[in-house]
């Protein structure tokens, strides 16, 4: 029996390659991203993720917690003017990964990971530290760190996403990353 793994997922593109190397686990790709702005962009990324996952026949869970946007804004309050890759981003990563740990706890999963490390714009070491701190907090759930951009992972992601015709956004997600 395979161990359960919940993988926080920000979009279909970032999930496209990591899904190919997680076949040793009973994997659920978990979409939770209240940071994505504006709502039409959120809906586009969510719907693209759902449609792509359905085509592939993989398990997903979409957390439709639209009212959680207020909690996300409360978390990043005071950090709105931080540059990309600054403190706001780390807070955002933790906010979203925490929800993945909560979901993993609710389904008795052993592990949590995130596809965010496939991006060359995300600091994998910071994401790993956040994952490990959440693992310490959620004692029964371990953070599995994959730096998906390694071994040409970002290149492979682009190839798979392009072949699948997936929508690619040109900013991370929040209104502050659009600048």
> In CATH, what is the architecture of 4-164?
3-Layer(aba) Sandwich (3.40)
Lookup result for tokens 């161990």: 3
pLDDT of the residue at 129: 98
Residues of the chain with pLDDT under 70: 65-67, 179
| Angle, alpha carbons 109-142-153 (nearest 5°) | 95
Q: What pLDDT, in 10s, does the model give residues 35-87?
A: 999 999 999 999 999 999 999 999 999 997 656 889 999 999 999 999 999 99
DSSP designation for 100 = H
Report the SS3 class of residue 142. strand
Output the pLDDT for position 67: 62
**Global confidence as pTM:** 0.96
Cβ-in-10-Å burial (0-12, 13-18, 19+) of 61 comes to middle
- Residue 179: per-residue pLDDT: 67
Domain ranges in the chain are 4-164
């Amino acid at each position: 029996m395979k161990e359960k793994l919940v993988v926080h997922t920000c979009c279909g593109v970032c999930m496209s390659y990591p899904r190919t190397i997680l076949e040793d686990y009973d994997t659920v790709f978990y979409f939770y991203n209240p940071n994505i702005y504006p709502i039409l962009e959120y809906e586009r990324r969510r719907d693209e993720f759902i449609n792509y996952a359905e085509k592939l026949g993989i398990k997903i869970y979409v957390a439709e917690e639209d009212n959680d946007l207020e909690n996300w804004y409360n978390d990043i309050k005071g950090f709105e003017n931080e540059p990309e890759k600054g403190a706001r981003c780390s807070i955002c990563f933790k906010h979203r990964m925490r929800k993945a740990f909560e979901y993993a706890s609710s389904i008795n999963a052993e592990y949590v990971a995130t596809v965010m490390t496939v991006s060359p714009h995300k600091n994998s070491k910071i994401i790993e530290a956040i994952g490990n701190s959440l693992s310490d907090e959620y004692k029964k759930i371990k953070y599995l760190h994959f730096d998906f951009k390694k071994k040409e992972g970002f290149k492979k992601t682009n190839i798979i996403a392009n072949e699948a015709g997936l929508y690619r956004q040109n900013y991370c997600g929040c209104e502050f990353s659009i600048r």
